[in-house]
Structure 1
């Protein structure tokens, strides 16, 4: 902004006193003060609005970068899943073809997703074990 030293302020006050006279000088000073406050307030509003817009742009840029990173990670995970899925599908096809008469072409990779190994259940005792527990009382 404009630099006004003390000497310049005194010179302006003397010129205003000579031009306006002592009766109109206080009213002119109040008017000049009010005008200066409005200018400063307007300048502060413009500056804060510009800062807000810059912050919004920064947030939008960060959001776009985050979305791009998320999309690239999602694509990378899909590729990794496909790389893991293919050998598993082949292994399941080999196991199914060796255990059944069904041709290998009948097994699709979608069959692999629902495939679970069939393990024999451990046999449970047919009768529950009971402990001989008679109440022990003190006579």
Structure 2
């Protein structure tokens, strides 16, 4: 892309050292590095956006081709079905107009959906995932108890003897 060799880079670095000075050169180099990094990120973003738009165009073309193929298949199937029904009706001796379709598509809306019945539940009774008999046999706590109540419950009994 650019014809820059080591000698040219060294020449530019030497001129920058003389013009800018050794005190400000590291700061300027850092700033140049960040600007170059930003430029590279911007170029990469633009490239990815262009690639996305190209892929989107290709996908839209494929979608259009698929839709036309599906339309062609649908038309050929319906024309074949019409021809077959016309031939069957002609063989049976019935007369059918060729303008009207001879088959009726299934109407999905004709069957009503079953009505929703809410389940019968007694909402006042708490239902747990673990049965009570299991909790009792495994000594699982079944009732919530505060920390102070738990301490009072398990505190050893006081003895009346004094030392």
Which residue of structure 2 lines up, in the alignment, with residue 48 of structure 1? 48
Which residue of structure 2 lines up, in the alignment, with residue 84 of structure 1? 84
What's the C-alpha RMSD, in Å, of the aligned pairs?
A: 2.2
Structure 2 stretches lacking a partner, 5+ long = 105-163
Partner-residue secondary structure (3-state), 2:2: coil
The answer to which structure, 1 or 2, has the higher relative contact order (CA under 8 A, 6+ apart) is 1
Instruction: State how far apart, in whole Å, the 1-side matches of 2:25 and 2:59 are.
Output: 51
**Regions of 4+ moved over 4 Å:** none
Structure 1 stretches lacking a partner, 5+ long = 94-103, 115-139
Higher helix share: 1
Which residue of structure 2 lines up, in the alignment, with residue 16 of structure 1? 16
Q: Which moved more, 1:63-72 or 1:73-82?
A: 73-82
CA 3–45 in structure 1, closer or farther in 2 if over 3 Å, else same: farther
Q: Give the alignment of 1:63-78 within 5 angstroms.
A: 63-78=63-78
CA 21–113 in structure 1, closer or farther in 2 if over 3 Å, else same: closer
Number of residues of Structure 1 aligned to a counterpart in Structure 2: 101
Partner-residue secondary structure (3-state), 1:4: coil
Kindly indicate whether residue 21 of structure 2 is the aligned counterpart of residue 6 of structure 1. Answer: no
CA 80–113 in structure 1, closer or farther in 2 if over 3 Å, else same: closer
Instruction: State how far apart, in whole Å, the 1-side matches of 2:5 and 2:40 are.
Output: 19
TM-score scaled by structure 2? 0.56
1:76, distance to aligned residue in structure 2 (A): 0.9
Instruction: State how far apart, in whole Å, the 2-side matches of 1:51 and 1:113 are.
Output: 47
CA 113–40 in structure 1, closer or farther in 2 if over 3 Å, else same: closer
